[in-house]
Amino acid sequence: MSLTTEGPAATDEAGDRQPQGGEEQPARAACSARPRPSAMGAVPVRLGRPTSDGMTRRFASSDPSPGLDLARRPVLARLMRDRRFQFLLVLPNQIVFWTVIFVGLLGTAVPGLNFGTAITWYVWFCLVFVMMVVVGRAWCSMCPFGGFAEWVQRRALFRRTQKALGLGLKFPEPLARLGFLIPVGSFVLLTWIEEFFNIAGPGNPADTSFMVIGIVLSALVFFLVFERRTFCRYVCPLTTLIGTVGSMGSVAGFRTRDREICLACTTKDCMRGSENGYGCPWYTWPGSADSNLYCGLCTECFKSCPEGNIGLFLQKPLTSVVAPARRRADVAWGVALLWGLVLYQQFNATNVFNTIDTKLNSVLGFPHYPDPVDYLGLIVAGALTLAGAAFVVGRLFGTGAVPARAGKASFIDRTTPFRSFFVPMAYGLIPVVGADYFARQLPKFFHTSPRVLPAAAHIFGFASTRTALYSTSLLGNNGIVVTQVIVIAVGTLAALWSMWRVAGRDLVPVSRSAAGVRLASLAFVAACGAGAAILYVLMHAAN
């Protein structure tokens, strides 16, 4: 080993000799252009250029104003950046609904005094509805059913984990192509079960528990079988209602701040996930969202974007109804079926319906209300009435031209002369449908919501049916009817405005007569609103 002898001696000498005078100048010059390991180890990526042709125009109508970016507020940004944010939203609801389950099963059999029944049917649905109309999918961000299943799926309450529990399958494509149709189906089914067992009626509180357990379990199964929030997007009974009615809301959801940055981004952490956040559980890309339809407000994209290019935007009410450039047929049929369902729920409080239902049951040998045939029949009839009206308007005014575009084979995006009227008109009707659902909940709310307090107290052994609040009604029947009609009137006005805008953009270009189609579509909205209002008067505040 020669280290101690020639090695160091040689190096020292060289060390002294080497950097001298003018000779060193070029060396120094080269030093400033040092090779960087990054340059040597990088993978040569020659990605194509993403197209931004027509992008500005495509999103002009739906992009929120930069000034309405809530995430610019440091306090809110810090909150939303915190991984515990959504956990803390879900937690209170989680507590409430596990209480519902246990109190429903173990508590008093008097529905009005049972916290499970009281909170679920007297208050919760109304609150969810108000959140929808104001915010959009606010409920989804705090939903205890999906929230719980998501904790299990992620193996964490709020941490970013890498390995998901469960199979992580993709939802079968033929079913995914149906969009909102499956969730509408599950909503119709759930409503039928609720009516059949008289769960909300209010019937046996244990039934409420079973229903909640059923939802939790089915959510859990879907979260463990499929990836992300497949359940919430493709199955959840409430998703169509929250999605469509929520599009009246004033929160646009998480959107890109600068779309060019999103397009140039080659990693799409908001979709695939990064150290700080999961990829969008809802399959939404902030870079192309043009409505709040599928934004679950879970803040994951906001957390994961390495560019800080995502904001939480406000928008004017009804923007997501009128603005989206892309109209989806599944949304339209979803709205139509929801309309059918709410009409059924109004109609079933009338004497005429009772007679029909009883008669049908005796013919078909079905035990009791509601007979599935008239149930489904009325819902479909309601939906087809809408579709028929749109068909007539199309025949009267349409030019028959069909815009050519991609997605020809897809149920959601296929274009036909009928659809070019039906789909936009269904969007325009959303405020009426929303108002109708809300109005339908009002009698229960006004008559029985005060019972929540004695019911809550009853868990701890206080209060009884004799407690004053138990039989307090916030409003008399006449007052309720008036309120309902007002709600419908407000909804109809909103729908008239929406339809005016929708017709101007989507119907006029495919119509022979601009004025005619506008008038016809507005008349259609007014007729729907009037029909609902009349039914409320007939129902006279029945539950």
Question: Which among 99-107, 405-413, 457-465, 484-492 is the span making contact with another protein, rule CB under 8 A?
Answer: 405-413
How far apart are alpha carbons 261 and 257 in whole angstroms? 8
What angle, 0 to 180 degrees and rounded to 10, lies between the N-to-C axes of helices 514-539 and 419-448? 30
Q: Out of 83, 255, 419, 451, which residue is the one contacting another protein (CB under 8 A)?
A: 83
Least distance to another protein, CB of residue 9, Å: 9
* Residue type (1 letter), 204: N
**What is the pattern of x (binds another protein, CB under 8 A) and - over residues 213-252?**
----------------------------------------
> How many residues of this chain bind another protein (CB under 8 A)?
96
Q: Out of 323, 412, 433, 502, which residue is the one contacting another protein (CB under 8 A)?
A: 412
How far apart are alpha carbons 393 and 510 in whole angstroms? 11
Q: Does 540 bind another protein (CB under 8 A)?
A: no
Of 301, 319, 300, nearest in space to 136 by CA? 319
- Is 64 in contact with 315 (CB distance < 8 Å)? yes
* Residue type (1 letter), 247: S
How far apart are alpha carbons 154 and 440 in whole angstroms? 37
How far apart are alpha carbons 209 and 536 in whole angstroms? 30
* Residue type (1 letter), 442: L
Least distance to another protein, CB of residue 18, Å: 6
Q: Does 67 bind another protein (CB under 8 A)?
A: no
**What is the pattern of x (binds another protein, CB under 8 A) and - over residues 356-395?**
----------------------------------------
* Residue type (1 letter), 310: I
Peptide bond before residue 417 is cis, with ω within 30 degrees of 0: no
Q: Does 420 bind another protein (CB under 8 A)?
A: no
**What is the pattern of x (binds another protein, CB under 8 A) and - over residues 267-306?**
xxx-xxxxxx--xx--xxx-xxxx---------------x
Q: Does 82 bind another protein (CB under 8 A)?
A: yes
Least distance to another protein, CB of residue 12, Å: 6
* CB-count burial class (<10 Å; 0-12, 13-18, 19+) for 47: exposed
- Our CB check for another protein shows the closer of 303 and 447 to be 303
- Our CB check for another protein shows the closer of 17 and 466 to be 17
- Is 422 in contact with 502 (CB distance < 8 Å)? no
- Our CB check for another protein shows the closer of 238 and 295 to be 295
How far apart are alpha carbons 343 and 422 in whole angstroms? 19
- Our CB check for another protein shows the closer of 409 and 468 to be 409
Q: Does 466 bind another protein (CB under 8 A)?
A: no
Least distance to another protein, CB of residue 173, Å: 6
Of 305-344, binders to another protein (CB under 8 A) are 306, 308, 325-326, 330
- Our CB check for another protein shows the closer of 276 and 473 to be 276
Least distance to another protein, CB of residue 283, Å: 5
Q: Does 49 bind another protein (CB under 8 A)?
A: yes
Q: Does 468 bind another protein (CB under 8 A)?
A: no
Query: SS3 for 351?
Result: helix
* CB-count burial class (<10 Å; 0-12, 13-18, 19+) for 268: middle
Instruction: Give residue for tokens 């529990």.
Output: 165
* CB-count burial class (<10 Å; 0-12, 13-18, 19+) for 6: exposed
Q: Out of 22, 47, 367, 461, which residue is the one contacting another protein (CB under 8 A)?
A: 47
Q: Does 19 bind another protein (CB under 8 A)?
A: yes
Which residues face 58 on adjacent strands? none
Q: Does 509 bind another protein (CB under 8 A)?
A: no
Percent helix, strand and coil across the chain, each to the nearest 5? 65, 5, 35
Of 135-174, binders to another protein (CB under 8 A) are 160, 162, 170, 173
How far apart are alpha carbons 190 and 210 in whole angstroms? 12
Question: Which among 340-348, 402-410, 470-478, 517-525 is the span making contact with another protein, rule CB under 8 A?
Answer: 402-410
Q: Strand ranges (DSSP E) for 285-352?
A: 310-314
Q: DSSP code of 509?
A: G
Q: How many angstroms from the chain centroid is the CA of residue 408?
A: 26
Least distance to another protein, CB of residue 304, Å: 8
Q: Out of 359, 368, 405, 512, which residue is the one contacting another protein (CB under 8 A)?
A: 405
- Our CB check for another protein shows the closer of 29 and 468 to be 29
Q: Does 66 bind another protein (CB under 8 A)?
A: no
Q: Does 32 bind another protein (CB under 8 A)?
A: yes
Which residues face 243 on adjacent strands? none
Question: Which among 33-41, 315-323, 372-380, 431-439 is the span making contact with another protein, rule CB under 8 A?
Answer: 33-41
> Which of left, alpha, beta for 318 (phi over 0: left; psi -120 to 50: alpha)?
left
Least distance to another protein, CB of residue 41, Å: 6
* Residue type (1 letter), 201: G
